[in-house]
Amino acid sequence: MSGTPVVSSHATMDQEAESAFAWCRDVTRREARNFYYGLRLTPEPKRSAIFAVYAWMRAADDIVDDEDVSREKRRETLDQFRSCTDAVFSALPVEPDATRAWDPRLWQAFRAAVEAYRLDPADFHDVFTGLTDDIETDSDGTTPLAPRYRTREELEAYCYSVASTVGLICVRIWGVQEGADFDEVRTLAIRRGLAFQLTNILRDLAEDFAIRRVYIPGEVFDEHGLTPEDLVAWRHPERCEALVHDVGAWARRSYEGSQSLERMLHPESVPAMWAMTRIYSDLLEVILRDPSRLFSGQRIRLAGYQKAAIGLRAFVRARRSRA
């Protein structure tokens, strides 16, 4: 990653952007679910910048996930969104048509965050790589249910584009400890992003299969003697459970291998990352206790009181970091 991360916590935001950031906050609260519990612990003005980045990601994801729109139209819309993003990084105005397609407050807040924290356009270009991959590999509904990726390495590359890049962007906003090796921070953030995305892939198996998206690599199915259809029907329960545990162990290794990330972040940003990681790693453990629930028709999630308890502990950490 090029550029130098912002370490100082004193970046300021344009007062005129206040309503735009409030709009992004509302989008994050409504859509981010688990992530919102952690992100809101980020102190201002970094919190608003993080919310702006999330709102940008949500808008981009919505383009890709719109099943009622043709592949060609989604490509066209994503290209327009990319052009608007490039305009922000080039300090150019966003095209008027884009302010009709997307709420102008999105671009106002996004521009303020990019300028305040010197965000790297390369990170966002990498996000577009993953989003384009989703569009191009989506099934047309006539092909058999099949894995999108053959190997774990191919899935890791996708996870980097859609998850690890977002972590890298957040780290640029959060900042790192003085003297921290940013190459090491980058490696750890990429690993944490992989852990989050693998957890998401397991949690959303049934939902993704319903729209013919199979993210688990073909080699993993082969190793367990299963097909995607077997997993959906939960045939050969022992094999299905073993496959889920295989992917879960991959996620666990990624959480464990990135444990030192928090020690390298700016202290005031640690509670946010800690809370998000705890929520997602706890969610993974819930999944692994009974993998068959993945296809029970009910979304697996932490109970409200569990999230509240994590939030409280993170809040105490946040207070201590600012003392």
Domain count, the chain: 1
Is position 7 within any domain? no
Per-residue model confidence as pLDDT tens digits over 130-149 = 999 999 988 766 678 899 99
Q: Which residues contact 243 (CB under 8 A, 6 or more apart)?
A: 216, 220, 221, 224, 226, 231
Is position 132 within any domain? yes
Is the C-alpha dihedral spanning 49, 50, 51, 52 positive or negative? positive
For 265, phi then psi, to 5°, come to -80, 160
Task: Report the distance separating Cα 158 and Cα 135, nearest Å.
Answer: 13
Q: What is the 3-state secondary structure (H, E, C) of the chain?
A: CCCCCCCCCCCCCCHHHHHHHHHHHHHHHHHCCHHHHHHCCCCCCHHHHHHHHHHHHHHHHHHHHCCCCCHHHHHHHHHHHHHHHHHHHCCCCCCHHHHHHCCHHHHHHHHHHHHHHCCCHHHHHHHHHHHHHHHHHCCCCCCCCCCCCCCHHHHHHHHHHHHHHHHHHHHHHHCECCCCCHHHHHHHHHHHHHHHHHHHHHHCHHHHHHCCCCCCCHHHHHHCCCCHHHHHHCCCHHHHHHHHHHHHHHHHHHHHCCCCHHHHECHHHHHHHHHHHHHHHHHHHHHHHCHHHHHCCCCCCCCHHHHHHHHHHHHHHHHHHHC
Is position 10 within any domain? no
Is the C-alpha dihedral spanning 118, 36, 42, 280 positive or negative? negative
Is position 65 within any domain? yes
Per-residue model confidence as pLDDT tens digits over 301-313 = 766 656 666 666 6
Is position 95 within any domain? yes
Task: Report the distance separating Cα 101 and Cα 81, nearest Å.
Answer: 9
Give the per-residue pLDDT at 307.
61
Q: Quick one: what percent of the chain has pLDDT higher than 70?
A: 87
For 317, phi then psi, to 5°, come to -60, -40
Kindly report the pTM of this predicted structure.
0.88
| pLDDT-based confidence at residue 299 (cuts at 50, 70, 90) | confident
CATH number, domain containing residue 110? 1.10.600.10
Phi-psi region of 238 (alpha: psi -120 to 50; beta: other; left: phi over 0): alpha
Give the per-residue pLDDT at 3.
36
Q: Quick one: what percent of the chain has pLDDT higher than 90?
A: 74
Domain assignment of residue 184, given as a range: 15-322
Is position 121 within any domain? yes
Is position 5 within any domain? no
Per-residue model confidence as pLDDT tens digits over 2-58 = 333 443 333 445 566 789 999 999 999 999 877 887 898 899 999 999 999 999 999
Residue with tokens 């609260």: 29
Is position 6 within any domain? no
Q: At what angle do helices 165-174 and 121-137 cross, to 10 degrees?
A: 160
Per-residue model confidence as pLDDT tens digits over 252-272 = 999 999 999 999 999 999 999
Task: Give the Å distances, CA to CA, from 223 to 165, 246, 284, 288.
Answer: 29, 10, 22, 19
Half-sphere exposure of 123 (CA within 13 A, CB side): 26
At residue 178, does pLDDT exceed 60?
A: yes
